[in-house]
């Protein structure tokens, strides 16, 4: 298990991170076997995992994006949110076909737990660009019915604020150079961690052995 770009203070222990990754994997396996996500009992886990939190689950295969689905606001326990988003990233991301069993062993699963969003106040595009914190900020951009978000991890491929904003506007369905006085930006931080499917299974086996 490897921490990803993380911008919030470390909240979850290694054991709790391993539990979340195991839930994500098991939910994907449930989808392959039954067509439905894993049903989780939050009461069986420590309070940090049963608390209401929002998350994103990102799947990569051989280094390439294979699915990414999440929620910007907490609607359920973190465990249930991760189980739902892992299933959705594997089978409901409209950019990709549904995951197949033969792809599972090559997957890398990443979980990003979101902190609260806060509005960014700005008067111009130049001012906005100067306020962005590369590698730290996740952004939510909205103008009318157009809305999109980039996790902090996206800074790894778009390290320049101008490029980050340009592509975020495109993701929201707007021209890359779009500007309006009604444009709204919120930001958030994440605590993120990732592991290969093999790594998750190995950690699970070690946990059973230790018990």
**pLDDT category, 205, cuts 50, 70, 90?**
confident
CB 111, CB 194: distance < 8 Å: yes
The torsion region of residue 112 among left (phi > 0), alpha (psi -120 to 50) and beta comes to beta
Same domain, 49 and 73: yes
Least confident residue range of 8-17, 44-53, 150-159: 8-17
Q: What is the 8-class DSSP label of residue 99? A: P
**pLDDT category, 96, cuts 50, 70, 90?**
very high
Q: pLDDT tens for residues 120-134?
A: 999 999 999 999 999
Same domain, 17 and 103: yes
Q: pLDDT tens for residues 154-202?
A: 999 999 999 999 999 999 999 999 999 999 999 999 999 999 999 999 9
Same domain, 108 and 144: no
208 is written with which tokens?
């059973």
Same domain, 16 and 107: yes
Same domain, 33 and 105: yes
Q: How many CB atoms lie within 10 A of CB 41?
A: 10
| Structural domain harbouring 125 | 118-188
What's the rounded Cα separation, in Å, for the pair 188 and 157?
Answer: 18
Same domain, 55 and 74: yes
**pLDDT category, 79, cuts 50, 70, 90?**
very high
Residue 6: its pLDDT value, please? 44
**pLDDT category, 207, cuts 50, 70, 90?**
low
Same domain, 21 and 82: yes
Q: How many CB atoms lie within 10 A of CB 191?
A: 22
Work out how many domains the chain is built from and give that number. 2
Same domain, 131 and 82: no
**pLDDT category, 204, cuts 50, 70, 90?**
confident
């Amino acid at each position: 298990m490897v921490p990803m770009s993380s911008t919030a203070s470390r909240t979850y222990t290694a054991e709790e991170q391993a539990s979340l990754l195991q839930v994500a994997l098991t939910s994907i396996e449930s989808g392959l076997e039954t067509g439905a996500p894993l049903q989780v009992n939050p009461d069986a886990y420590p309070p940090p995992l049963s608390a209401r939190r929002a998350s994103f689950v990102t799947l990569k295969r051989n280094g390439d994006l294979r699915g990414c689905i999440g929620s910007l606001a907490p609607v359920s326990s973190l465990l249930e949110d991760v189980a739902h988003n892992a299933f959705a990233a594997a089978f409901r991301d409209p950019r990709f076909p549904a995951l197949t069993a033969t792809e599972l062993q090559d997957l890398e699963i990443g979980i990003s737990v979101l902190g609260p969003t806060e509005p960014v106040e700005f008067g111009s595009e130049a001012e906005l660009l100067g306020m962005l914190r590369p590698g730290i900020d996740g952004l939510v951009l909205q103008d009318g019915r157009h809305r999109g978000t980039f996790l902090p991890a996206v800074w790894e491929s778009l390290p320049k604020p101008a490029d980050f904003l340009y592509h975020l506007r495109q993701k929201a369905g707007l021209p890359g150079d779009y500007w309006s006085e009604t444009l709204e930006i919120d930001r958030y931080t994440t605590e993120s961690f990732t592991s290969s499917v093999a790594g998750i299974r190995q950690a699970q086996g070690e946990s059973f052995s230790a018990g």
